[in-house]
Amino acid sequence: MKLPLGIHVGERLSLEQTYWQAELADQNGFESVWVAEGRLARDGIVPAAVIASKTRNVKIGTGVVNNKSRNAALMAVTFKTLDELAPGRAILGIGAWWEPLATKVGQPLRKPVASMREYITVLQTFFRNEVVSFEGEFVQMQDVRFDSMYRENKPVDIPIYIGAVGPRMLELAGEISDGVHMDFLLPPSYLVGAKEAIDKGLAKRTDGKDSIDLTQIVACSVNDDDPQEAIDACKAFLTLYLAQQPHIAEHCGVERELVDRIQERAGWPATPEAIKKAMQLVPNSLVQSVTACGTTDEVFAKLMEYHEAGVRCPVVSTLGDKEQTLTRIAQAAKG
């Protein structure tokens, strides 16, 4: 596969679709499968473990879990176990969660960069198989390490990717992590500032590492018979995000006036019918600037645009006709 590709699976897919996509990716030279966990719709760890058991080649990443709902020691041993199931294939993708859900479950987002630094520092100490003693503002550990009663204990190589968008979290990723797993609905032009922030963090590293990996989820929809239908699938998705998570507008270049009009038409909570009405306000040009949609050639060209902008491995998130989208992209990637 000339262009490294991953796939993104999450609650929009049934479990049957999730496993089918993962197995197709494994059989067609995709590099990775990233399992989403965001809303209280589906856990990410259980599907990741099933995917690990059903595949042989792809890496399995979380895209992303959060640093609020699992104790850092439990997170560390969870990924140690995933590595036991799929040696050398596990990636820990971790983000800061989002509001208002974090507050609703009693874990409000406070100092997200500082809390992420503490959490990852502890994870990395566990993965080195060292004794962890840490007294932070957000994470506390006292003389704890992986238990060695039942099997040989040794360090585990678990890359940590931060789900970062804002400049301060991107800078932290450059300073302490192995990679950045960027969200969807960001245009390739966003990578200019993002890479500057990452480089600022890289300059602070003390381990001699001078680069980290960069992956990005890209919402994709292919329909060679009716390209507008593929564009509309991505348009509905973008409209829903702008209506319910309007902060994304700041990053994808959408004017506040348009967001206000979309929210007014969509209402809260938005229904599929309301989104269909609101998406009439969204031009094709905006959709095609932040997603990959249309014909196979158009979608693959957009994925290449992200790659050329600095995303080493675009991660395909299927919309619309999901089977056609994934199979056509896989065929195109093989050249």
Residues in the chain, how many? 335
Given this model, what pLDDT does residue 1 score? 60
Question: Are the C-beta atoms of 288 and 250 separated by less than 8 Å?
Answer: no
Tell me which residue has tokens 């590709």: 5
Structure tokens at 84: 């036991």
Distance, CA of 252 to CA of 258 (rounded, Å): 12
- pTM comes to 0.95
Give, as one character, the DSSP assignment of residue 280.
G
Distance, CA of 105 to CA of 318 (rounded, Å): 30
Give, as one character, the DSSP assignment of residue 271.
P
Question: Are the C-beta atoms of 158 and 80 separated by less than 8 Å?
Answer: yes
Structure tokens at 325: 């989208």
Distance, CA of 315 to CA of 25 (rounded, Å): 11
Given this model, what pLDDT does residue 105 score? 86
Chunked into runs of 10 residues, the chain (335 residues) has average pLDDT values of 91 94 97 92 96 98 95 97 97 89 85 97 98 97 92 92 96 98 95 97 95 98 98 96 84 89 90 94 96 98 97 98 97 88
- How many helices (H) and strands (E) the chain has is answered by 14, 12
Task: Delineate the domains of the chain, giving CATH numbers in brackets.
Answer: 6-224+291-333 (3.20.20.30)
What is the bridge-based pairing of β-strands 179-182 and 160-162?
parallel
Reduced to 3 states, what is the DSSP secondary structure of residue 160? strand
> Residue 81 CB: number of other CB atoms within 10 A?
14
What are the respective helix, strand and coil percentages of the chain, to the nearest 5?
45, 15, 35
Distance, CA of 30 to CA of 59 (rounded, Å): 9
Dihedral sign from CA coordinates of 70, 41, 55, 223: negative
H-state helical runs in the chain: 15-27, 45-54, 72-85, 101-104, 112-127, 167-176, 190-202, 227-244, 248-252, 256-266, 272-278, 284-290, 296-309, 322-333
